[in-house]
A and B are shown apart, each in its own frame.
Chain A
Amino acid sequence: MKRTVLPLLAGLLVAGAAMAAIAHDYTVGSIRIGHPWSRPTPAGAVAGGGFLTLTNTGKVPDRLLSGTTPAADRLEIHEMSVTDGIMRMRALPEGLAIAPGQTVKLAPGGYHIMLIGLKKPLALGDHVPARLKFEKAGEVEVSFIVGNPPAEATGAGTPAGMGPH
């Protein structure tokens, strides 16, 4: 299935439309981390989002607890929702549970990682290093690729109408 994913920040990112997102994965303990990515941020933006998928291939529940990145003052785990026309964002101080056999998507419109206090804007093609900490699996270094959403990483909240163009 060949799809061209439209850049969400269309107009900003016309040049980026041709850049295919290269999938990359990490494994730590029983947790598989699929394609961490971020959107480019507008100049002046102090916060950016990080997205990825978490799969628990083990037999016991695990939990994404926290993380750090040299690219921002803080890394937090958040949930965003738009309900009845109201956008809400909440930090998940307890982290994000991943049941055995479950895949949890952090994708636009839902769970995401917030990079707060960006040292500089996230630019197309950047690789943003981060260290994620899991309750059971421990810590792992990952790299968020700044680009457009990979087709397989779009979550329920991702705007529709992003189809072939």
Chain B
Amino acid sequence: MRAPIRLLLGLCAGIALSLAACERRAPPEQTAAAPVAIGGPFHLVDQTGHPFTHRDLLGKPTAIFFGFTFCPEVCPTTLADMTRWLAALGPDGNRVNVVFVSIDPTRDTPAVLKQYLGNFDPRIRGLTGTEAEIATTAREYRIFYRKVPLPGGGYTMDHTAGVFLFDRTGKFAGVISYGGDPNRGVAPLRHLLNP
């Protein structure tokens, strides 16, 4: 039960000075007996423009990653990794949700997501929404993100880079960190499929 707390502390450690994400997210009654929940209600749209909510994830294990299409490295690498995991799972890949949530909804419209995700496994669901809807979703999932202006114009985004796992009931099941063995997500997903 402590893993989620450790995770949150880990996430917060890196951004303690930013005051951006952690303080307002920690429930005041937080104790060892009441772990911080990761994941929660959200109302977004997918890359085809259809509404998609947290309820659509229930019944299957979920791997969810927050990123943005402007991202040159972490995001395409993670999406390629997730594509590889789905291929390795074979038919079982149809029994998991693999989700990419944009933390840059200004640029990542459903149409942009659709084109971008066309490069990866078609089962990967891309989600976006309004700035407020994305902020709510990120808060529920304990995702840190921040817009950073570039000196030459435009901006990039800092963001939590791991893939978050959930079981079929929506209970948080761990994080797959960025980098390392490109196949590192296959075993955890198999485990969630066959608990």
Contacts and interface: CB of A to CB of B under 8 A. Distances in A.
* Max count, chain A CB within 10 A of own CB: residue among B152, B161, B178: B152
A47 B68 CA distance: 11
B47 to A, nearest CB: 11
7 contacts: A8-B77, A11-B121, A42-B69, A82-B178, A82-B179, A85-B161, A158-B179
* Max count, chain B CB within 10 A of own CB: residue among A39, A43, A44, A49: A44
Interface of A: 6, 8-12, 39, 41-49, 74, 76, 80, 82-91, 93, 108-109, 112, 114, 116, 157-162
Nearest to B81: A10
A10 B186 CA distance: 14
A161 B151 CA distance: 35
A82 B161 contact: yes
Interface of B: 10-11, 13-15, 69-74, 76-77, 79-81, 83-84, 87, 112, 115-116, 118-121, 144, 148, 150-154, 156, 158-162, 175, 177-184
A6 B77 CA distance: 12
Contacts of A85: 10-11, 14, 160-162, 175, 177-178
Given A159-B77, A159-B179, A84 B148 contact: no
Contacts of B11: 84-86
Contacts of A42: 69, 76, 79, 116, 118-120
Judged by DSSP, the binding face of A is loop
A44 B120 CA distance: 12
Contacts of B84: 10-11
A159 B77 CA distance: 10
B116 A93 contact: no
Given A11-B83, A89-B158, A45 B72 contact: yes
A35 to B, nearest CB: 18
Contact of A87 (B10, B87, B119, B161): B161
* Max count, chain A CB within 10 A of own CB: residue among B14, B153, B156, B159: B156
Contacts of B70: 45-47
- Per CB-CB distance, the 4 closest pairs between chain A and chain B, nearest first, are A84-B14, A161-B181, A42-B119, A44-B115
B119 to A, nearest CB: 4
A44 B178 contact: no
A15 B83 CA distance: 16
Given A10-B84, A108-B73, A86 B158 contact: yes
